[in-house]
Amino acid sequence: MNIFIKVLVCFIAGAGAGIGTGFAGMSAAAVIGPVLATFLGLPPYQAIGIGLASDVLASFISAYTYKKHGNLDVKNSLPLLLSVLVMTVAGSLVASMLPDRTMGSFSQFGMLIIGLKFLIKPNNATKQQMTEMTPKQRIIRAIIGGVLVGFICGFVGAGGGMMLLFVLTSFLGYEMHMAVGTSVFIMAFTALTGGISHFAIGGMPDLGSLILCVLFTLVWARIAAVLANKASTKTLNQVVGIVMVVTSIFIIAFNMIF
Distance of CA 13 to the CA centre of its chain: 14
- Number of C-alpha atoms within 13 angstroms, CB side, residue 160? 45
pLDDT of 1 reads: 56
Q: Assign 3-class secondary structure to 230-247.
A: HCCHHHHHHHHHHHHHHH
pLDDT of 65 reads: 96
CB 57 within 8 A of CB 219: no
Q: What is the pLDDT along the chain (258 residues), one digit of tens a residue?
A: 588 899 999 999 999 899 989 988 887 877 888 788 888 888 877 888 898 899 999 999 999 999 999 999 998 889 998 988 888 777 777 766 765 544 455 566 767 787 788 888 888 877 676 777 788 888 888 898 888 887 876 666 555 677 888 889 888 889 999 999 999 998 888 788 778 877 887 777 888 999 999 999 999 999 999 999 999 988 888 888 888 788 778 777 766 766
Q: CA dist 211 to 11, 51, 214, Å?
A: 11, 11, 5
- Number of C-alpha atoms within 13 angstroms, CB side, residue 42? 27
Question: Is residue 122 classed as helix, strand or coil in its secondary structure?
Answer: coil
Residue partners of 200: CB distance under 8 A and separation at least 6: none
